[in-house]
Amino acid sequence: MTSKSAAAAARATVYGYPRQGGGRELKKAIEGYWKGRVDADALRATAAELRRTNWRQLAEAGVHEVPTGDFSYYDHVLDTSVMVGAIPGRHRASVEADALDGYFAMARGTQDVAPLEMTKWFDTNYHYLVPELGPDTVFTADSAKQVAELREALDLGLAARPVLVGPVTYLLLAKPAPGVAADFDPLTLLDRLLPVYAEVLSELRAAGAEWVQLDEPALVQDRTPAELNAATRAYRDLGALTDRPKLLVASYFDRLGDALPVLAKAPVEGLALDFTEAAAANLDALAAVGGLPGKRLIAGVVNGRNIWVNDLTKSLATLGTLLGLADRVDVAASCSLLHVPLDATTERDIEPQILRWLAFARQKTAEIVTLAKGLAQGTGSITGELAANRAALASRANSPITRDPAVRTRVGAVTDADARRSQPYGERAAAQRAHLGLPLLPTTTIGSFPQTAELRVARADLRAGRIDTAGYEERIKAEIQEVISFQEKTGLDVLVHGEAERNDMVQYFAEQLTGYLATQHGWVQSYGTRYVRPPILAGDISRPEPMTVRWTTYAQSLTRRPVKGMLTGPVTMLAWSFVRDDQPLGDTARQVALALRDEVNDLETAGTSVIQVDEPALRETLPLRAADRPGYLAWATEAFRLTTAGVRPDTQIHTHMCYAEFGDIVQAIDDLDADVISLEAARSHMQVARELAAHGYPREAGPGVYDIHSPRVPSADEAAALLRKGLEAIPAERLWVNPDCGLKTRGWPETRASLDNLVAAAHAVRAEL
Ligand code: GLN
Ligand code: ZN
């Protein structure tokens, strides 16, 4: 095919769409079903209606081929486990008794049966349920969901393409089932899994699928030769099937690297590649393998996981280059639109002049359609769209919101010394010991105390105008009084104010920083029926006034023990927001760091001697490819130091991280140069303490001795045993005693009992020293 006819054939498509509906109907229906208020038929009807609405919306917008099977009651990886019959033994009876209830049992657990483990989907904030596999796993095909949803779309008269998690990615995301040896490699099951995929593909073809998409995002991560070999075999075998639809193998979130030649050579009919900035290397790599002669290429030129308008002119140039490299070039978002909110036009509180910089799923769909049209019919067919797009981009580039001279001057003047404490750790530690006078094995908590129903009611009352700010603040103060007096009674050494005033650890600061926007309806699925509304980091960041000082000093006024100030760090502020894409992340992080630095310094001036800067996202934002990690860690750790380095030597800087795996970032943790770090450790039996020790970590650390993820109350003996384990790795002079994470999701009864036991454990172990 010539590039001219390839252009003429260009079509618009997407890989997936937000599931919940404009009014979050799906969430309401599912939660209603769980509570027994909605029956299964009503839930199914709601779901089917939402799918139809999405498809119609896509088709009306001009999408030529809609995705099917991307819908899910909870998670598409769990749906894949159902599709291949990988039901954990402990859930089999309930799945057989009732497929829907069994499905939710796998997702959420029941009184007696644990759910599947949940973890992050690559480097997004979406969480999937981890398949559990073992040498005895028997796969069986169950294509019912995929076939039914395909039929629904075909019945509407639409061209539709089922989207499945590919077999290689499915196995690479799996873990050994409970009771199976930890070194079991799920990839060894590939030969057993492929026939099941073959069956599903044949059934989809029989149901009318011309194309089927197999998503293989795991191939954008560093892969061993054995893993690449598995991909080769998988697509050689699936490609060799005679009774199958055309196959499109999709990758996203990063460049394919060594997997690109593997897929380019595979006997499949099409590839979908990410061509956004993060994966720009795909373009040269594709040219280097000689393109995809005879194949269909879907070009993910519209960023599917951020919310900014596309640069249509730039995308058209990329698409133009790609025309010479494949038989047919279609246009898509880089990944499923699941990761962005539904519709920017519903945002009433964002000024129109800013709103036009934003593209949520509906706006991205329109961009994809425009690009496909421009490619097929020439740019003359989209002159109006191009002009509007150029105007939107220019207004964004020249806006005082994205260019605040004061912020830029300040960032430009930052020196290395600004990101360095005035004394090395050893000297600081001595000054802090003298200043704080804490006992050995000091006890503390991670910051938040239970967010009670009363607190949520108070916030809702304030929003609805039922109480005024003064009334709201009285309620918060009363809560702080209670939290402080409880901690004093319990005998904790370093207290916190409890974070009662915070709706969310990122949103609370975003609302107070200039340069951030909040959305009213910008919901994105985090897991199951949990949706979050990430703030939008849109412009240059500054802090008009102190954000936390009032609450911290109020808490300090109630006690003579030190109250720890509590802030969210710059990396986490970026990671849990939609972040601007018009400058390097490191530059944005530096701006946030300077704003937070002012807060840190103000807390110190107001008399706060211990300040914690939380960075739970440091580990999770680690780039997918090892080669990209040093660059990320360099700016991330610098931003943390810039936030914290302005204090006196005797002011103690803490940081906190959750999630148990730290092995690969111990050096980065060291590079933060914090005085104390608290980490999650209770469930991994102090593994992180050993990892820190193995690295020679020289600072103080509090590996958690109370797992706050469960309502279970640890006994004092249990906490003491963990502490003694911690002491094997970290000397008493440097070991802290604290829970794994904040207590905001816990209730008061278990919080009281657990902290009593935690303090008792510290006393018992101190007596042994
Ligand atoms: N300070 C926060 C809290 O206690 C930390 C939360 C987190 O690590 N995710 O809630
Ligand atoms: Zn935490």
pLDDT tens, position by position, 60-75: 999 999 999 999 999 9
Does ligand 1 have an atom closer than 6 angstroms to the CB of 483? no
Assess whether pLDDT exceeds 80 at residue 3: no
Under 8 Å CB-to-CB from 323, ≥6 apart: which residues? 3, 6, 7, 329, 375
Name the active-site residue from 76, 435, 685, 709. 709
Tell me the C-alpha to C-alpha distance, in Å, between residue 25 and each of 78, 151, 164, 618, 633: 21, 23, 24, 34, 40
Assess whether pLDDT exceeds 90 at residue 422: yes
CA of 447 from ligand 1 middle (Å) equals 6
pLDDT (0 to 100) of residue 679: 95
Does ligand 1 have an atom closer than 6 angstroms to the CB of 616? yes
Enter the DSSP assignment of 309.
Answer: P
- Which ligand is nearest the CA of 445, by number? 1
Say if residues 753 and 708 touch (Cβ distance below 8 Å): no
Does ligand 1 have an atom closer than 6 angstroms to the CB of 451? no
Instruction: Tell me whether residue 28 is annotated as binding.
Output: no
Cα–Cα nearest to 272, from 198, 316, 329: 329
Do the strands 175-176 and 132-133 form a parallel or antiparallel pair, or are they unpaired? parallel
pLDDT (0 to 100) of residue 220: 98
Does ligand 1 have an atom closer than 6 angstroms to the CB of 741? yes
Assess whether pLDDT exceeds 60 at residue 1: no
What is the spatial distance between Cα 96 and Cα 99, in angstroms, rounded to a whole number?
6
Assess whether pLDDT exceeds 70 at residue 7: yes
The DSSP annotation for 36-51 comes to TSS-HHHHHHHHHHHH
Assess whether pLDDT exceeds 60 at residue 483: yes
Under 8 Å CB-to-CB from 408, ≥6 apart: which residues? 540
Phi, psi of 574 (to 5 degrees): -80, -45
In tens, the pLDDT along 166-213 reads 999 999 999 999 999 999 999 999 999 999 999 999 999 999 999 999
What mean pLDDT do residues 614-623 have? 93
Under 8 Å CB-to-CB from 591, ≥6 apart: which residues? 407, 411, 515, 540, 541, 542
Assess whether pLDDT exceeds 60 at residue 604: yes
pLDDT (0 to 100) of residue 708: 92
In tens, the pLDDT along 380-389 reads 999 999 999 9
In tens, the pLDDT along 281-294 reads 999 999 999 999 99
pLDDT (0 to 100) of residue 9: 84
pLDDT (0 to 100) of residue 655: 98
CA of 28 from ligand 2 middle (Å) equals 28
Percent of the chain with pLDDT over 90: 95
Instruction: Tell me whether residue 335 is annotated as binding.
Output: no
Q: ipTM score here?
A: 0.99
pLDDT (0 to 100) of residue 660: 65
pLDDT (0 to 100) of residue 339: 98
pLDDT (0 to 100) of residue 146: 98
Annotation says 654 is catalytic: no
What is the spatial distance between Cα 740 and Cα 705, in angstroms, rounded to a whole number?
7
pLDDT (0 to 100) of residue 709: 85
In tens, the pLDDT along 344-361 reads 999 999 999 999 999 999
pLDDT (0 to 100) of residue 35: 96
pLDDT (0 to 100) of residue 6: 73
Say if residues 257 and 285 touch (Cβ distance below 8 Å): yes
The label of the residue with tokens 């690297």 reads 257
pLDDT (0 to 100) of residue 165: 98
CA of 478 from ligand 1 middle (Å) equals 21
What is the spatial distance between Cα 623 and Cα 473, in angstroms, rounded to a whole number?
41
pLDDT (0 to 100) of residue 664: 85
Instruction: Tell me whether residue 724 is annotated as binding.
Output: no
pLDDT (0 to 100) of residue 620: 86
- Which ligand is nearest the CA of 617, by number? 1
Does ligand 1 have an atom closer than 6 angstroms to the CB of 505? yes
Q: What is the pTM of this model?
A: 0.95
Tell me the C-alpha to C-alpha distance, in Å, between residue 584 and each of 597, 621, 636: 20, 15, 12
What mean pLDDT do residues 690-696 have? 94
CA of 349 from ligand 2 middle (Å) equals 32
Percent of the chain with pLDDT over 70: 99
